[in-house]
Chains A and B, each alone.
Chain A
């Protein structure tokens, strides 16, 4: 077994039950490297909803809350507010994060609460059998759209940025070292951090959208879709069609953060109350 797995993972849950060649495993490796480098295993708490990638934190021997579909972000907000020293991370799939839990995402971004949301995007509802998700590409064939998807996909990074997230990054599973760096930056960032990771799902999106259930083929399709941020700026919109821009897309320091605001208001209110009681006793 790998030394990092031996140190941080739950032995009883191994080997992971993900499909052959699933990108979620690469994300666990990248996450454990980030946690190992920062040395925060005792401070970190994970929340996740429903879906394949919601099982990512379950393998980690840390505080984990596996919650209802799409509701991981409110629970993570509560975990952060009850103990501001906690480093809270949410693992959500694309259906979990922008489908069922879409409203929670935009409101957590608006509040700028100091949590890290990791959205693993495989462009399909993988666990339930390959239905159309809000991130499924236009004209893609899935189990619920056998003649092609008439809808247009969400750009989750633009959504998070517009809603007020102060750190936004996007990578693919073909960039494991960059994912580790993005996790470290997102954990250290004061404010709402959103990291989208494009991942291969050979079983569902590989088979239905990309035309091959071979893990290497699905992996290469995801890898070839990605264009670096600097390169994308020089490309025309026609050239960028069907491509996905990767990199650290947005970072904003110094914005007011929810936990600080709540605790400042609470202490101000307590001081105000004690002054009033003093006045009354006099």
Chain B
């Protein structure tokens, strides 16, 4: 099971993670972070292939991808 956590305290809502996700796992949610922007959320975590591109491209250390793929 892969869990994708977005830290609302650090996220500035630049949406680079959403644009770079190859499997369209992330999407803009309706929640706002501390900076006042809409933060992304994992809407399809089952499609995640754990490439961690969102994690390495995030400028604010706000995304953590944990866990392994189910076989």
Chain B 15-38: CB-based contact to A (< 8 A → 1; otherwise 0): 110110000000000000011010
Give Cα distance in the complex from A242 to B13, angstroms: 30
Instruction: Say whether A144 faces chain B, with CB atoms less than 8 Å apart.
Output: no
Number of chain B residues whose Cβ lies closer than 8 Å to a Cβ of chain A: 24
Of A24, A29, A173, A220, which is within 8 A of B61 by CB?
Answer: A29
Describe B's contact surface by its main secondary structure: loop
Task: Indicate if the CB atoms of A2 and B62 lie closer than 8 Å.
Answer: yes
The chain B residue with its CB closest to the CB of A219 is B16
Give Cα distance in the complex from A1 to B9, angstroms: 9
Chain A 4-48: CB-based contact to B (< 8 A → 1; otherwise 0): 110001000011101111111110111001000000000000000
Give Cα distance in the complex from A152 to B10, angstroms: 39
Give Cα distance in the complex from A173 to B14, angstroms: 14
Of B14, B35, B64, which is within 8 A of A2 by CB?
Answer: B64
Task: Indicate if the CB atoms of B60 and A16 lie closer than 8 Å.
Answer: yes
Instruction: Say whether B2 faces chain A, with CB atoms less than 8 Å apart.
Output: no
Task: Indicate if the CB atoms of B37 and A20 lie closer than 8 Å.
Answer: yes
**Which residues on A sit within 8 Å (CB–CB) of B58?**
25-26, 29
Instruction: Say whether A3 faces chain B, with CB atoms less than 8 Å apart.
Output: yes
Of A4, A15, A202, A219, which is within 8 A of B60 by CB?
Answer: A15
**Which residues on B sit within 8 Å (CB–CB) of A30?**
56
The chain A residue with its CB closest to the CB of B59 is A25
Task: Indicate if the CB atoms of A1 and B16 lie closer than 8 Å.
Answer: no
Give Cα distance in the complex from A5 to B58, angstroms: 12
27 contacts between A and B (CB under 8 A): A2-B61, A2-B62, A2-B64, A3-B64, A9-B61, A14-B10, A15-B12, A15-B34, A15-B60, A16-B59, A19-B12, A20-B13, A20-B14, A21-B59, A22-B59, A23-B59, A25-B58, A26-B56, A29-B57, A29-B59, A30-B56, A173-B57, A174-B57, A176-B56, A202-B14, A215-B16, A216-B19
